[in-house]
Amino acid sequence: MHRIPRLRSGRALAAAATALVTAGVFAAPAAGAASGRATATEKVLYSFAGANGAGPLNGVIHGPDGKLYGTTVFGGRHGLGCVYSLTPSGSGYTEKVLFSFDNADGSKPGGNVAVGAHGDLFGETVIGGADQNGVAFELVPAGPGSYTEKVLHTFTGGADGGQPIGAPVLDTRGDMFGVTQFGGTGGQGVIYELAPSAAGYTEHVLHSFANGAGQPQAGLTMTGTGTLFGTLYGASAVNTNGTVFRLQLTKTGPVYTDIYNFKGGTDGSNPFAVLTVDGRTGVIYGTTEYGGGSGSDGTVFSLAPAGSGYTERVLHSFTTHLGGFLPQAPLLREPDGALFGVTDIGGVKCSGTGCSTVFELAPAGTGYTFQVLYRFTGPPDGAEAEWAGLIPGPAGTMIGATRSGGTARNCADGGPGGVLGCGTIYQITP
CA 327/CA 379 separation, integer angstroms = 21
pLDDT value for 413:
62
The answer, yes or no, to whether the previous bond of 109 is cis (omega within 30 of 0) is: no
* 24 vs 375 pLDDT, higher one: 375
State the average pLDDT over residues 268-294: 95
Closest by CA position to 371, among listed 399, 416, 392, 340: 340
Q: Of the ranges 14-23, 48-57, 354-363, which one carries the lowest mean pLDDT score?
A: 14-23
With cut-offs at 50, 70 and 90, classify the pLDDT of residue 242: very high
SS3 state at 150: strand
pLDDT value for 287:
98
With cut-offs at 50, 70 and 90, classify the pLDDT of residue 235: confident
Contact 391, 402 (CB under 8 A): no
CA 209/CA 191 separation, integer angstroms = 8
What's the DSSP call for residue 331? P
| CA angle 86–277–59, rounded 5-degree value | 20
Residue 320 has pLDDT above 50, yes or no: yes
Contact 386, 329 (CB under 8 A): yes
**pLDDT by residue (tens digit) across 33-77?**
444 556 899 999 999 999 999 999 999 999 999 999 999 999 999
pLDDT value for 36:
52
SS3 content of the chain, % helix, strand, coil (to 5): 5, 45, 45
| Ranges assigned E (strand) in 335-414 | 339-342, 357-364, 367-375, 382-383, 391-392, 398-402, 404-405
**pLDDT by residue (tens digit) across 160-207?**
999 999 999 999 999 999 999 999 999 999 999 999 988 899 999 999
Write phi, then psi, for 411 (nearest 5 degrees).
Answer: -95, 130
State the average pLDDT over residues 153-165: 97
With cut-offs at 50, 70 and 90, classify the pLDDT of residue 414: low
CA 90/CA 271 separation, integer angstroms = 39
308 CB contacts (<8 Å, ≥6 apart)? Answer: none
* 224 vs 154 pLDDT, higher one: 154
Closest by CA position to 230, among listed 219, 215, 238: 219
What are the DSSP calls for 5-44, one per residue? Answer: HHHHHHHHHHHHHHHHHHHT-SPPPPSSTTTS---SEEEE
Question: How do beta strands 284-290 and 276-277 pair?
Answer: antiparallel
Domains of the chain with CATH codes: 27-429 (2.130.10.130)
**pLDDT by residue (tens digit) across 361-404?**
999 999 999 999 999 999 999 999 999 999 999 999 999 999 99
With cut-offs at 50, 70 and 90, classify the pLDDT of residue 410: confident
Residue 239 has pLDDT above 60, yes or no: yes
What residues pair up with 193 in beta bridges, in sequence order? 177, 204
SS3 state at 347: coil
State the average pLDDT over residues 249-265: 95
SS3 state at 418: helix
**pLDDT by residue (tens digit) across 89-99?**
887 899 999 99
In the chain, what percentage of residues exceed pLDDT 90? 79
Largest CA distance in the chain: 62
SS3 state at 64: coil
Please give the mean pLDDT across all residues of the chain. 89
pLDDT value for 316:
97
Residue 319 has pLDDT above 50, yes or no: yes
Residue 426 has pLDDT above 90, yes or no: yes
State the average pLDDT over residues 212-220: 91
With cut-offs at 50, 70 and 90, classify the pLDDT of residue 429: very high
For the range 357-364, what are the long-range contacts, defined as Cβ-Cβ under 8 Å and sequence gap of 24 or more? 357/322, 357/323, 357/324, 357/385, 358/40, 358/42, 358/385, 358/390, 358/398, 358/400, 358/428, 359/323, 359/324, 360/430, 361/300, 361/315, 361/316, 362/338, 363/336, 363/337, 363/338
Residue 10 has pLDDT above 70, yes or no: no
| CA angle 339–374–427, rounded 5-degree value | 80
For the range 334-337, what are the long-range contacts, defined as Cβ-Cβ under 8 Å and sequence gap of 24 or more? 336/363, 337/363
With cut-offs at 50, 70 and 90, classify the pLDDT of residue 16: very low
